[in-house]
Structure 1
Amino acid sequence: MDEETLAAATYLIDTQHLGQGRGTDLLGVSLSTTDRVGHAYGTQGPEMCEQMHRLDRALGTFLDRVAQIPGGALVVLTADHGGSDFVERIAARGYPHAHRIDNAPLSAVNDRLRDQFHLADSPLHSASSGLIVADKDDKALPAPLRDQVIDAALPLLRALPDIVFVEARDRLLQDPMPDTRNPEMLTVRERMRLSAVAERSADIIMIRAQNVTGGGRVGGNIAGHGTPWDYDRRVPIVFWTPGAQAQERFLPIRTIDIAPTLAAVLGLSTPSLEGRAIPLWPEADAAPESGR
């Protein structure tokens, strides 16, 4: 799939004459096979090795074509998330704490809540990064019952094994937004505050310990992502232009720094942004002509 996507991107460069006009052209390319392979086979097996080999070769061919653009080019490569291998192989390789859990503890919490509030159905339903409080038709419970169920659920969920963080979304949203300039210093609560969105995030934010996951099946998804842990949060960020001197920055930057960096390269003024422009290459080094 990635080879075909890059072939389509090359076709656009050639047919639309990108980088050859008076203005700046922007071409966005999404390469998704690494994500699909990681979910289905994990990140540390022969399948991912094959994917990395094919992607590296395809990107090399594509960058060779980009280097020929008369107006010059700047390439930015990053990812929307990281990932980890499936927990069974992690455990076999020396991390015995890595394991897959079942839903029995959550079922017991639902049993308690049904009895306490005389509910016909379980009120807690699994969702991304937490739990939704709803009826069997996924409709939100009416007030004040919803808040009462959440208040009763929090101490029960915090007592479960392998759970390291539990908080009501609405309470988490009351926290101030943390300073993200040193992302490696953020606490788990601060990381989850950055991810919480009113009326979009789960009603209860719940995080498992590192390398502890639920669900999954062979033939489907055996590995996932979406946790606040660094193996999911950290992504590569590469700026490349033909002929520039290679450098490696070991201090972390953020994906929100990409846009202001591109604006600085292009000489564009921007509104107030949280991200910062990253100095790239000295002026003597190769850089895109007119930022095209």
Structure 2
Amino acid sequence: MKKVLIPFLLILLIYSCGAQQESSNSVSQNTENSFISRPKLVVGIVVDQMRYDYLTRFEAKFGKGGFKRMINEGFNCKNNHFNYIPTYTGPGHASVYTGTVPKYHGIISNNWYDKVVQKSVYCAQDDNVESVGTESRAGKMSPHRMLTTSVADENRLFTQMRGKTIGIAIKDRGAILPAGHTANAAYWFYGKDEGVWITSTFYRNDLPKWVKDFNDSDTVESYIKVWDTHLPIETYQESGPDLNNFEGGFKGKENATFPYDLAALKSENGGFDILKATAYGNSLTVDFAIAALKGEALGQDDDTDVLAVSFSSTDYVGHNFGVNSKEVEDTYIRLDRDLERLFNYLDEHVGEDEYTVFLTADHGAVDVPAYLQSVKIPAGYLDYNDRKERFQKFLVEKYGTADIVENVSNNQLFFNKQKLKELGLNIHDVEQALVDEQISYPNIAKVYTATAMNSTNFTTGIEALLQNGFNQKRSGDVIVVDDIAHIAYSKTGSTHGSGLNYDTHVPLLFFGKGIKHGQTYKKTVIPDIAPTISALLGISFPNGATGQPLGFVID
């Protein structure tokens, strides 16, 4: 028995040692595979008011180094959507970088009614800071109303504040909200009679030398010139006729048609603000972004930096001229060349394999309803004045006063809770009565109560989008949804804000270090972006993130 047992024990010992060696090799191999080679720089790009179909509509006019380079070398998420309402600039930028929805990050609109102070507030407004770079109030801004961290914040925390964050946009909110709470700086453009890039004391007490040098240069002034099409206008077959009834245009020019002499139009259109509503605003943004890359030495060490760039002019052009205009087409053709210019700079000064880029939008836009009507597609315009008069009459007849509703904004009704208490009214009864009244009005599709938003778990449809955009402390007591393609807007130009595909379906492209080449029709949502970048960098997700990392885009 002993003779048999001893060889058996020897076999077990040999097997055990081999298993331990294999386990050791496995751990070593896994450790090696889990090592994260981080990019030196993450460039986040948000294109304001970019519908997904702009990528495909204008594809033939794009060069090889901008949008097409991102698609051909990177990953294209073709079915990317916003998963909340409202689709506005402030909530859009916040959601991209926080990885969550307004329900949690708190930026429920660009402006909203504050129930505590009982007045409208702006998403980036901060009266506790001062302007830097201008004497105007345009710099009194900060991200203090955003309740969660951004991916840029988490990168700063992970690198012990060594990794830099710079936010840049024509619009203040487009620079401030992406950069987060810990940014080294956010810069935005102040036009009027100054034409300068500014910031606030939330970040720093003076402008750095590179910003002063940029403001002192003739770069801004150089764009006060003629805006004509980049390519021959007769080749712009992807948009409607240049002369039509669906575009706004500029004061001082009879028709909204190319070319536009910006020097001649400047004085009647807000001075340097005219640049915002032209393709040149995006070119100016790239000029300033390149200056920031140089001035801040971004991507020049082993601690990952973040450059958050938002192209605001696409939104101004879309609002003015509409999604089917020659002006929008030219703006995207020129933006494509500006992206190529930015990528070429990054290749040379950061390193072709040392940076990662993502590109998305903060919302899409609806076709001009007047145009849709002209081609027999259901669409229209809302008469809020008529709706207001009818509603106030109802309130007086039913409750003896219209004061039980203290504000109507962003398609939401806010109750005067004190007045309800004085009148002995049950808030739930009033909610339902107002729902029943509002749903009877023309061009109102759906109406919901705050009680429904707080007590029901919606998982699909418009209801789920409304719930994701509903912040219990900041949102209203009754929420109204208008008919499809019906807007409260001028009969020229486009707008946005709904939970419909024309507003929710936007591009999502990843490109650069750590990104696979490929494409998917799998549905992705805006809050997935920040967790994906966090996973790529091996850092914590933003603290309120509800999105999921898109593992299939990471190499």
What is the TM-score normalised by the length of structure 1?
0.81
Whether 1:278 aligns to 2:555 is: no
SS at match of 2:498: coil
Equivalent-residue separation in structure 2 for 1:55 and 1:211 (angstroms): 27
Structure 2 CA distance for partners of 1:35 and 1:244, relative to 1, 3 Å: same
Structure 2 CA distance for partners of 1:266 and 1:243, relative to 1, 3 Å: closer
* Deviations 1:164-215 (CA, angstroms, capped at 9, x unpaired): 210122332222263xxxxxxx211111111111132232100011101124
Is the 8 Å Cα contact of residues 368 and 491 (structure 2) preserved in structure 1? no
Question: Counterpart amino acid of 2:355?
Answer: A
Matches within 5 A, 1:41-80: 41-68=321-348, 69-70=350-351, 72-80=354-362
Q: Tell me which residue corresponds to 1:212.
A: 486
Bigger Cα Rg:
2
Higher relative contact order (CA 8 A, sep 6+): 2
Unaligned runs of 5+ in 1: 179-185, 284-292
Q: Tell me which residue corresponds to 2:287.
A: 7
Structure 2 CA distance for partners of 1:151 and 1:269, relative to 1, 3 Å: closer
Q: Tell me which residue corresponds to 1:155.
A: 436
Match of residue 23, structure 1, among 272, 280, 303: 303
User: Deviation of residue 98 (structure 1)?
Assistant: 0.5
Is the 8 Å Cα contact of residues 260 and 277 (structure 1) preserved in structure 2? yes
SS at match of 2:520: coil
Match of residue 255, structure 1, among 526, 531, 535: 526
Equivalent-residue separation in structure 2 for 1:275 and 1:46 (angstroms): 36
Match of residue 408, structure 2, among 109, 118, 126: 126
User: Deviation of residue 238 (structure 1)?
Assistant: 0.8
User: Deviation of residue 67 (structure 1)?
Assistant: 2.2
Question: Relative to total residues, which structure has the larger strand share, 1 or 2?
Answer: 2
Q: Which piece of structure 1 moves more, 18-27 or 167-176?
A: 167-176
Aligned-residue identity in percent: 25
SS at match of 1:126: strand
User: Deviation of residue 276 (structure 1)?
Assistant: 2.0
Equivalent-residue separation in structure 1 for 2:306 and 2:435 (angstroms): 47
Is the 8 Å Cα contact of residues 444 and 481 (structure 2) preserved in structure 1? yes
User: Deviation of residue 217 (structure 1)?
Assistant: 5.8
Unaligned runs of 5+ in 2: 1-280
Question: Counterpart amino acid of 2:466?
Answer: M
Whether 1:188 aligns to 2:462 is: yes
Structure 2 CA distance for partners of 1:243 and 1:54, relative to 1, 3 Å: farther
User: Deviation of residue 244 (structure 1)?
Assistant: 6.8
Equivalent-residue separation in structure 2 for 1:35 and 1:165 (angstroms): 28
Question: Counterpart amino acid of 1:165?
Answer: K
Equivalent-residue separation in structure 2 for 1:105 and 1:234 (angstroms): 30
SS at match of 1:225: coil
SS at match of 1:30: strand
Equivalent-residue separation in structure 1 for 2:435 and 2:381 (angstroms): 22
User: Deviation of residue 22 (structure 1)?
Assistant: 1.8
Equivalent-residue separation in structure 2 for 1:211 and 1:272 (angstroms): 33
Aligned residues: 268
Q: Which piece of structure 1 moves more, 1-10 or 240-249?
A: 240-249
Which 4+ residue blocks in structure 1 deviate beyond 6 angstroms? Answer: 242-245
User: Deviation of residue 272 (structure 1)?
Assistant: 8.9
Equivalent-residue separation in structure 2 for 1:215 and 1:122 (angstroms): 27
Is the 8 Å Cα contact of residues 322 and 328 (structure 2) preserved in structure 1? yes
Equivalent-residue separation in structure 1 for 2:426 and 2:319 (angstroms): 34
User: Deviation of residue 13 (structure 1)?
Assistant: 1.2
Match of residue 83, structure 1, among 341, 365, 381: 365
Match of residue 496, structure 2, among 203, 206, 225: 225
SS at match of 2:481: strand
User: Deviation of residue 94 (structure 1)?
Assistant: 3.6
* Deviations 1:124-160 (CA, angstroms, capped at 9, x unpaired): 75311333345xxxx9744354825433221111122
User: Deviation of residue 75 (structure 1)?
Assistant: 0.5
Q: Tell me which residue corresponds to 2:316.
A: 36
Question: Counterpart amino acid of 2:372?
Answer: I
Equivalent-residue separation in structure 2 for 1:30 and 1:140 (angstroms): 42
User: Deviation of residue 110 (structure 1)?
Assistant: 2.1
Coordinate RMSD, CA, aligned: 2.7
User: Deviation of residue 243 (structure 1)?
Assistant: 11
Question: Counterpart amino acid of 2:440?
Answer: A
Equivalent-residue separation in structure 1 for 2:518 and 2:381 (angstroms): 40
Equivalent-residue separation in structure 1 for 2:490 and 2:418 (angstroms): 27
